[in-house]
């Protein structure tokens, strides 16, 4: 009985040794890749933050309206630190699938291929949204200032309409870049943007009736110029 028990224990230990010999290199490779990715992400984030501080990115972000948007979202960190956090997690997300693939676990072999296929698309869509958001804020503020200087009654409404129109266009472009329902997104954007333009035109038409009436009345009441006649000297 004792010999049988001992044989079972030694067989289990031998099986464990065999499994460790097979699995341990993959585990070590995974830990090494994860450590390299973590160190690279940390160093890249610090370098990016230092460069952003050197070029006065925080001050520029305040003029672009990024600081106000971050405050509305509940983020109280400076934009340079937010940029560092984005760089850190972006690099870490790229390294983690490679580290998991090193284990050669069934079902995760194609994880790296999937991530490297979608990460560029997601980053491109995020960049489109960021640029669209900056352009929307810039055009909205410019339209508001110009409308106020021109004494347009609905200056704030005009600025908001322009801002949301640019944001809708950027969102539709980003979703199309991801390849998600291109036709549906284009149709929905066309309907939404067309409805927005129609509503804006209708609002200005109704609001400008008095101004149009005054212009027409001044034009119709304008006294005709006397005809030039030739007289003999």
Tens digits of residue pLDDT in 124-161 = 888 888 888 878 877 888 878 887 787 766 778 778 88
Collapsing DSSP states into helix, strand and coil, what is residue 111?
helix
Highest average pLDDT, of 79-88, 184-193, 211-220, 223-232, comes from 79-88
Query: What percent of the chain has a predicted confidence (pLDDT) above 70?
Result: 64
pLDDT at 43: 92
pLDDT at residue 233 above 80? Answer: no
Q: Quickly count: other Cβ atoms within 10 Å of residue 18's Cβ.
A: 10
Contact 167, 132 (CB under 8 A): yes
Contact 161, 204 (CB under 8 A): no
Residues 121-134, buried b or exposed e (16+ Cβ, 10 A)? Answer: eeeebeebbeebbb
pLDDT confidence tier of residue 174, bands split at 50, 70 and 90:
confident
Q: Which long-range contacts (CB under 8 A, 24 or more apart) does 93-100 make?
A: 93/119, 94/37, 94/119, 95/33, 95/34, 95/36, 95/37, 95/38, 95/40, 95/41, 96/34, 96/37, 98/33, 98/37, 99/29, 99/30, 99/31, 99/33, 99/34, 99/37, 100/30
Prediction pTM value = 0.54
pLDDT at residue 109 above 70? Answer: no
The region of weakest confidence among 3-7, 71-75, 163-167 is 3-7
Taking alpha carbons only, the member of 177, 85, 83, 71 closest to residue 124 is 177
Q: Rounded mean pLDDT of 112-127?
A: 76
The region of weakest confidence among 83-87, 133-137, 177-181, 226-230 is 226-230
Highest average pLDDT, of 29-33, 152-156, 179-183, 226-230, comes from 29-33
**If you average pLDDT over every residue of the chain, what do you get?**
74
pLDDT at residue 54 above 80? Answer: yes
Burial class (CB in 10 A: 0-12, 13-18, 19+), 167: middle
pLDDT at residue 26 above 50? Answer: yes
Inter-helix orientation angle 111-149/79-101, to 10° = 160
Q: Quickly count: other Cβ atoms within 10 Å of residue 158's Cβ.
A: 20
pLDDT at 47: 92
In the chain, helix, strand, coil percent, each to 5? 80, 0, 20
The region of weakest confidence among 3-7, 97-101, 211-215 is 211-215
Q: What is the dihedral of CA 168, 173, 174, 175, to 10 degrees?
A: 90
């Amino acid at each position: 009985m004792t010999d049988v028990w001992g044989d079972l224990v030694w067989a289990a230990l031998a099986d464990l040794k065999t499994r460790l010999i097979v699995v341990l290199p993959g585990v070590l490779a995974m830990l090494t890749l994860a450590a390299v990715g973590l160190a690279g992400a940390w160093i890249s984030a610090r370098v990016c933050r230092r460069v952003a501080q050197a070029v006065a990115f925080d001050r520029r972000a305040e003029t672009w309206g990024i600081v106000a948007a971050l405050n509305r979202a509940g983020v109280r960190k400076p934009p340079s630190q937010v940029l560092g956090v984005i760089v850190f997690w972006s690099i870490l997300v790229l390294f983690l699938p490679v580290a998991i693939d090193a284990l050669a676990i069934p079902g995760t072999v194609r994880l790296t291929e999937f991530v490297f296929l979608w990460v560029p698309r997601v980053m491109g869509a995020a960049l489109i949204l960021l640029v669209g958001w900056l352009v929307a804020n810039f055009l909205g503020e410019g339209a508001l200032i110009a409308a106020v200087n021109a004494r347009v009654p609905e200056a704030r409404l005009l600025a908001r309409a322009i801002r949301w129109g640019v944001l809708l266009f950027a969102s539709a472009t980003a979703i199309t870049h991801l390849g998600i329902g291109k036709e549906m997104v284009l149709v929905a954007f066309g309907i939404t943007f067309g409805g927005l333009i129609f509503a804006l035109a209708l609002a200005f038409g109704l609001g400008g009736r008095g101004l149009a009436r005054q212009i027409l009345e001044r034009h119709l009441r304008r006294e005709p110029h006397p005809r030039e006649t030739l007289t003999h000297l």
